[in-house]
């Protein structure tokens, strides 16, 4: 005899199992690929870049030391059975080592890279040169990496697939712009996701209102015309630290981040990519209102002139403050001894070459002199 209750119980168990599997697949996906993103952080000296990274990785930043040249770290996130990896590259020393950004911005990584430029709000006179030094250099580096990527790709289908992916990465930098037709002429979207961070807001909030207003206006122009997201950071303010952590997580892991717009000079500035336009930003400070600034051919030079009127550039020494080779933390006795030995051998060889060259010259001059045999 068939046990109806046993059949019903078995059918119920199978349905429960199917629902559980369906919920699990909906949560993590049947075959979702792991994210492998690269975030490159550069900008002003001593502006909190390392603290921002430590804050994102939930590490203690009390022992945070100054970054020397280009340093690498990573973070991971478990997403079901998938492990997402965030490769974080931090450049120290300001613009001195900007040429090192070609290391992470290679053809292999360019489609997975995002660039974050951190500006020190307490030194407004340096923010223009710092930002555009990195922007101009990275534009060339990224373009070269893209060209190399297309040349080294053997299959045409692979090239097309990468081009489509690159266009998807640029979507937030172009499609979402609500700029007018005249405005779009002055917007040169960066080839990879770009973020402009204004740091040390805890000190900047005590500046004069007029200075804060002008700095915000220039920052908005710099971010908007390059297709960047503009945000604020401070190691002293917990709310800004939380926002920066959420922003970085959104960049490298694709998590949801709150997109808020705030251009009030009395509050931390926040302008997501594509949320601004030149009409809202207005004309440069101290600009002659009788002529329309949208009619200018080189709007960057126009804003730069206005910037220099408010924040004249100061003579700063771009040399490295201290030689890393003299740092006790990086001493290697065996290597140092080898260098000393090789240096002595080189000096000895140079002396030998000089003496031999002098002797040969003397011999040749003696041979050229006529000899008297009588």
Distance, in Å, from the CA atom of 123 to the CA atom of 127, rounded to the nearest integer, reads 7
**CB burial of residue 103 (10 Å; 0-12, 13-18, 19+):** middle
Instruction: For 119-177, write each residue's pLDDT tens digit.
Output: 999 999 999 999 999 999 999 999 998 888 877 755 445 555 555 555 555 554 444 44
Instruction: For 316-359, write each residue's pLDDT tens digit.
Output: 554 545 555 566 666 778 888 888 888 899 999 889 888 888 88
Task: Provide the mean pLDDT of the chain.
Answer: 81
**How high is the pLDDT of residue 155?**
45
Mean pLDDT is lowest, of 83-87, 163-167, 209-213, for 163-167
**How high is the pLDDT of residue 15?**
76
For helices 299-310 and 209-224, angle between their N-to-C axes, nearest 10 degrees: 160
Reported as a pLDDT band with limits 50, 70 and 90, residue 371 is low
Per 3-state DSSP, what percentage of the chain is helix, strand, and coil (rounded to 5)? Answer: 50, 15, 35
How many residues belong to the chain? 374
Q: Is residue 119 a contact partner of residue 198, using CB atoms and an 8 Å limit? A: yes
Q: Is residue 88 a contact partner of residue 75, using CB atoms and an 8 Å limit? A: yes
Tokens 């080592």 label which residue? 97
Residue 258 half-sphere exposure toward CB, CA atoms < 13 A:
10
- Residue 266 in tokens: 């009395």
For helices 299-310 and 124-152, angle between their N-to-C axes, nearest 10 degrees: 150
**How high is the pLDDT of residue 325?**
59
Tell me the mean pLDDT in the region 19-31.
55
3-state secondary structure of 78: strand
Reported as a pLDDT band with limits 50, 70 and 90, residue 248 is very high
- Phi, psi of 360, deg, nearest 5: -65, -40
Tell me the mean pLDDT in the region 313-318.
62
Distance, in Å, from the CA atom of 117 to the CA atom of 135, rounded to the nearest integer, reads 9
Distance, in Å, from the CA atom of 80 to the CA atom of 102, rounded to the nearest integer, reads 34
Distance, in Å, from the CA atom of 135 to the CA atom of 146, rounded to the nearest integer, reads 16
- Phi, psi of 17, deg, nearest 5: -65, -40
**How high is the pLDDT of residue 226?**
93
Strand 70-79 versus strand 194-199 pairing type? unpaired
The stretches of the chain forming alpha helices (DSSP H) are: 4-28, 49-56, 124-152, 156-174, 181-184, 201-204, 209-224, 238-253, 278-281, 299-310, 333-368
Going by C-alpha positions, the residue among 84, 76, 81 that lies closest to residue 29 is 81
Strand 82-91 versus strand 36-43 pairing type? parallel
Tell me the mean pLDDT in the region 47-55.
91
| Per-residue pLDDT at 85 exceeds 50 | yes
Secondary structure letter of residue 205 according to DSSP: T
Instruction: For 170-210, write each residue's pLDDT tens digit.
Output: 554 444 444 444 577 888 889 899 999 999 999 999 999 99
**How high is the pLDDT of residue 179?**
45
Q: Is residue 117 a contact partner of residue 135, using CB atoms and an 8 Å limit? A: yes
- Residue 354 in tokens: 């000089």
Mean pLDDT is lowest, of 27-41, 102-116, 217-231, 259-273, for 27-41
Distance, in Å, from the CA atom of 56 to the CA atom of 88, rounded to the nearest integer, reads 11
Reported as a pLDDT band with limits 50, 70 and 90, residue 30 is very low
For helices 209-224 and 124-152, angle between their N-to-C axes, nearest 10 degrees: 10
pTM: predicted TM-score of the whole model, two decimal places? 0.72
**How high is the pLDDT of residue 158?**
56
- Residue 25 in tokens: 């697949």
Its CATH class, for the domain covering 33-310, is: alpha beta
Between the CA of residue 182 and those of 104, 170, 178, what are the distances in Å?
35, 21, 11
Secondary structure letter of residue 224 according to DSSP: H
**How high is the pLDDT of residue 9?**
72
Distance, in Å, from the CA atom of 288 to the CA atom of 69, rounded to the nearest integer, reads 43
Distance, in Å, from the CA atom of 220 to the CA atom of 224, rounded to the nearest integer, reads 6
**How high is the pLDDT of residue 224?**
93
């Amino acid at each position: 005899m068939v046990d109806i209750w046993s059949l019903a119980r078995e059918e119920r168990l199978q349905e429960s199992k199917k629902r559980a599997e369906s919920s699990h697949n909906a949560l993590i996906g049947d075959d979702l690929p792991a994210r492998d993103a690269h975030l490159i952080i550069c900008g002003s000296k001593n502006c909190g870049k390392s603290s921002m990274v430590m804050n994102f990785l939930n590490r203690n930043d009390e022992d945070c030391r100054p970054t020397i040249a280009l340093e690498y770290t990573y973070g991971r996130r478990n997403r079901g059975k998938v492990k997402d990896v965030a490769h974080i590259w931090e450049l120290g020393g300001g613009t001195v080592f900007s040429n090192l950004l070609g290391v992470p911005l290679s053809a292999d990584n360019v489609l997975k890279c995002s660039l974050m430029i951190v500006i020190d709000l307490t030194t407004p006179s340096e923010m223009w040169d710092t930002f555009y030094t990195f922007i101009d250099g990275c534009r060339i580096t990224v373009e070269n990496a893209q060209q190399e990527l297309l040349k080294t790709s053997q299959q045409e289908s692979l090239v097309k697939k990468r081009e489509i992916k690159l266009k998807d990465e640029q979507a937030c930098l172009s499609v979402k712009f609500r700029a007018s037709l005249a405005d779009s002429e002055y917007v040169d979207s960066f080839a990879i996701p770009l973020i402009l961070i204004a740091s040390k807001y805890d000190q900047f909030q005590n500046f004069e209102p007029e200075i804060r207003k002008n700095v915000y206006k220039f920052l908005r122009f710099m971010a908007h015309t390059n297709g960047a997201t503009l945000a604020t950071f401070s190691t002293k303010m917990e709310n800004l630290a939380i926002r920066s952590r959420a922003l970085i997580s959104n960049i490298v892991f694709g998590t949801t981040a709150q997109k808020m717009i705030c251009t009030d000079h009395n509050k931390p500035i926040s302008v997501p990519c594509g949320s601004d336009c030149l009409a809202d930003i207005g004309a440069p400070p101290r600009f002659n209102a009788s002529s329309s600034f949208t009619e200018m051919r080189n709007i960057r030079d126009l804003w730069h002139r206005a910037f220099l009127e408010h924040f004249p550039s100061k003579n700063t020494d771009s040399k490295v403050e201290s030689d890393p080779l003299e740092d006790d933390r990086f001493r290697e006795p065996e290597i140092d001894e080898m260098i000393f030995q090789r240096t002595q051998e080189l000096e000895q060889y140079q002396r030998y070459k000089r003496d031999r060259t002098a002797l040969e010259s003397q011999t040749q001059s003696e041979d050229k002199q006529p000899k008297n045999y009588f």
